[in-house]
Amino acid sequence: MAKKKKPVSAPRPAATDAPATLKDMLSSDVLNKLKAQSDALKAEENAKKEAARQAAEEQRKAEQKRLDNDFAHLLANSNQDWHKFK
């Protein structure tokens, strides 16, 4: 039996032949400034989300406190089986 020869694939072009990307063309200090700005914007966005979450939580607590002081609301939502408490 004869061995089959595998077809030889064409050699791939080297990485240096690839077109230059924007990252390659930017200097390292400019790239570092852009990364720092990106991190700052992400931190600011996270801070805004946290502030909005806290405001919503405070609003929910204030509404619950108001409802706890409302007799009509408490009466409507209370258990009507008073025989258990005799």
As a whole number of angstroms, the distance between CA 50 and CA 14 comes to 48
CA–CA distance, 69 with 71 (Å, rounded to integer) = 6
**Cβ atoms within 10 Å, residue 31:** 13
Q: Could you give the CA distance from residue 72 to residue 67 in angstroms, rounded to a whole number?
A: 9
Q: Which of helix, strand or coil describes residue 69?
A: coil
Return d(Cα 24, Cα 31) in angstroms, integer: 10
Its sign, for the CA torsion 30, 35, 39, 42, is: positive
pLDDT for res 12: 60
Per-residue pLDDT of 34-67, as tens digits, reads 999 999 999 999 999 999 999 999 999 999 999 9
What pLDDT, on the 0 to 100 scale, is given for residue 42? Answer: 97
